[in-house]
Amino acid sequence: MNVSQQHGPLSGFTVGVTAARRADELGALLQRRGATVLHAPALRIVPLADDSELLTATKELVDLAPDVVVATTAIGFRGWVEAADGWGHGEALLARLRGVELLARGPKVKGAIRAAGLTEAWSPSSESLAEVLDRLLAEGVDGRRIAVQLHGEPLPGFVEALRAGGADVVLVPVYRWLPPADLTPVDRLLDATVAHGVDALTFTSAPAAASLFARAAERGMTDELTAALRRDVLSACVGPVTALALRTRGVDTVQPERFRLGPLVQLLCQELPGRARALPVAGHRVEIRGHAVLVDGELRAVPPAGMALLRALARRPGWVVARAELLRALPGDGRDEHAVETAMARLRAALGTPKLIQTVVKRGYRLALDPVPGDGSKYAD
């Protein structure tokens, strides 16, 4: 299974995408860099036109004007204005927003505000809600009515701090999310994750992470999912709010400095190849990736059984690994040692360099690890 030498930084890796919104864009960015993408939207978006909670919040603000409105996302603000217009409340909402202190979290939100014919009172240079909160608290929020445009996920600490300061907080829940109507893709992703069939999962919202764990709980596999994410599967989050949903479960995460899809993909391009194991074997450089191997920079796809054997050998490079141990490493049940020989033959064929793996008669197999120059070491028997 020889693959072209022209490969991207994510070639050989499988990445799970849990996003519902902009999933195609994220998947295309990953595939362009060589990744195999397993898409399983962990949520579905409630159509704005059918969202009674958003309609209720909009009417409440039109009837009783807030002192401050915090716009957190560009797409959320645009969606709110468009939905209000569809319900016949668009002009009334815009009229209300013209008379309040309108705070924009970042430049994209400012653009959406201005496109609606409005002007923001202030926006932080950091795009941080923490800075927005600091400004509000410094001004004093006691007795003030503050509307906060949400974007499908909670804002930990933000609303609580405003209420603790005495503010009357009105939540504007734009783009609420529910569990997916079809759970098959999510179940497929969960199975692949606990079986270490994916190398990373991407999360672009905290509710997506919560929904994935909720489905795992329904299937009785929470512990397996948590163990996989703590040990072998990288959790890549678009920002700190999303990461918090995983960190509260003891899962380490990585996130880009800029909370965007492009930087998230670039981060994966650094992290995953950096975690791949590279070994000098039989005069070749062998780099073991998720479902493929780089042999002297040439990408070679390897079937799952072969990857299982190769990983078992790579855990103790140069040492003999018994057939019985390799048998336990193979996926599936009810196999015998003949299955090891069959998988090994296919692995050698996939690697294209049979001498990378040595057969030790009546004992097992080992990677033909090159000795370190000058130390006089031999392969371990």
Q: Please give the average per-residue pLDDT across 196-209, as a whole number.
A: 91
Q: In the chain, what's the furthest Cα-to-Cα distance?
A: 84
The pLDDT tens digits for 321-364 are 999 999 998 887 656 778 899 999 999 999 998 899 999 988 99
196: left (phi over 0), alpha (psi -120 to 50) or beta: left
> What is the reported pTM?
0.72
Q: Please give the average per-residue pLDDT across 188-192, as a whole number.
A: 96
The Cα 200–Cα 189 span in angstroms is 11
| In the chain, domain spans | 14-45+180-275, 48-175, 277-367
Question: 116 φ, ψ to 5°?
Answer: -85, 5
Please indicate whether the domains covering 14-45+180-275 and 48-175 agree at the CATH topology level: yes
Number of alpha carbons in the 13 Å side-chain half-sphere of residue 324: 2
Q: Please give the average per-residue pLDDT across 365-371, as a whole number.
A: 89
Q: Which architecture characterizes domain 14-45+180-275 according to CATH? A: 3-Layer(aba) Sandwich (3.40)
More confident residue, 276 or 241: 276
pLDDT at 156: 66
The Cα 163–Cα 323 span in angstroms is 64
pLDDT at 22: 82
Q: Are 171 and 159 spatial neighbours (Cβ–Cβ below 8 Å)?
A: yes
The Cα 243–Cα 126 span in angstroms is 18
Does the pLDDT of residue 240 top 90, yes or no? no
User: How big is the chain, counted in residues?
Assistant: 381
pLDDT at 41: 93
Write a three-state SS string for 301-349: ECCHHHHHHHHHHHCCCCCCEEHHHHHHHCCCCCCCHHHHHHHHHHHHH
pLDDT at 277: 84
pLDDT at 377: 45
Question: 251 φ, ψ to 5°?
Answer: -100, 125
pLDDT at 373: 57
pLDDT at 2: 39
Q: 3-class SS at 177?
A: strand
Q: Please give the average per-residue pLDDT across 240-246, as a whole number.
A: 86
Reading the block at residue 348, the tokens are 């050698």
254 Cα distance to chain centroid: 9
Does the pLDDT of residue 380 top 80, yes or no? no
Q: Are 235 and 261 spatial neighbours (Cβ–Cβ below 8 Å)?
A: no
pLDDT at 176: 77
pLDDT at 378: 46
Number of alpha carbons in the 13 Å side-chain half-sphere of residue 120: 22
pLDDT at 175: 77
pLDDT at 337: 75
For residue 321, what are the CA distances in angstroms to 185, 284, 310, 352, 380? Answer: 36, 21, 11, 21, 11
Reading the block at residue 77, the tokens are 């603000």
The Cα 234–Cα 370 span in angstroms is 30
| Amino acid code (one letter) for 172 | V
Q: Which CATH class is domain 277-367?
A: mainly alpha
Q: 3-class SS at 117?
A: coil
Q: Are 16 and 196 spatial neighbours (Cβ–Cβ below 8 Å)?
A: no
If one looks up domain 48-175 in CATH, what number appears? 3.40.50.10090
* Poorest-pLDDT segment among 62-71, 111-120, 148-157, 208-217: 148-157
The Cα 104–Cα 232 span in angstroms is 39
pLDDT at 268: 97
Find all residues with CB under 8 Å of 274, minimum gap 6, and list them: none
Q: Please give the average per-residue pLDDT across 201-209, as a whole number.
A: 91
Does the pLDDT of residue 379 top 90, yes or no? no
